[in-house]
Amino acid sequence: MKVALVLVSVFFTKALALQCHQCVTHLPQICNSVECSSECNSVSSTLSLGGVQMEQSVRTCLPSVFCVTGRINTGFLKATINSKCCKTDLCNDKAVPALPKQPPNGKKCCANDDCSETVTCEGDEDHCIKGTVVSFVVKASVKGCASKSICDGLASILRHSNLTADIKCCEGNLCNTAISMNLGLLIMLGSLLFSILFL
């Protein structure tokens, strides 16, 4: 009887495991099938730092907290993420496209503490963002424009990545005052958005 229960348990658990494609951008792209405990995900991201742009596309398993599509824009740093999650075997069989460049939308957000510098928001960047992130002993702050989806998901992503974060968003023009911008966080946030594809 015990042997039967063990066999049923092993086969039942195996049957419940989710199979996902795991592909990282290379030339040619290398893919294999992996067993996942969370969701299958297809992600494309871009990171523009001082006008130099990098793009990455990955298919793998990621927790649902990483299923975010949106933009963050601090002027010097611009990052986009386009993510599609699914929960059936090998459902992430297609790469999602990177989000296209968008024109200014008329909204402006503060880029520094006294708002003497501003960021022109683009596309669906309908919120201003301000926040601080602590990684080990490094504490940094950021200000700029963001999509609502980034505002909703970024704090959870940072927590999941073992970073302490206090991220706040607001909807009015130039509403993100009182936290100064730090170049270290701009690079850290951009790198984090880019590196979540490899978790």
Domains annotated for the chain, with CATH where assigned, are 18-198 (2.10.60.10)
Strand ranges across the sheet with 18-24:
30-36, 18-24, 52-62, 39-49, 77-86, 70-73, 138-146, 127-135, 164-170
Query: What is residue 152's predicted lDDT score, i.e. its pLDDT?
Result: 85
> Can you tell me the distance from the alpha carbon of 49 to that of 2, in angstroms, rounded to the nearest whole number?
60
Mind listing the pLDDT tens digit for each residue in 22-75? Answer: 987 665 668 889 999 889 999 999 999 887 889 888 899 988 888 889 999 998
Residue 136, pLDDT above cutoff 90: no
Mind listing the pLDDT tens digit for each residue in 173-192? Answer: 999 986 443 444 444 555 55
Residue 117, pLDDT above cutoff 90: yes
Token pair recorded at residue 146:
């963001």
Give the residue-averaged pLDDT of 131-146. 79
- Predicted structure pTM score: 0.73
Query: What is residue 25's predicted lDDT score, i.e. its pLDDT?
Result: 66
Query: What is residue 112's predicted lDDT score, i.e. its pLDDT?
Result: 86
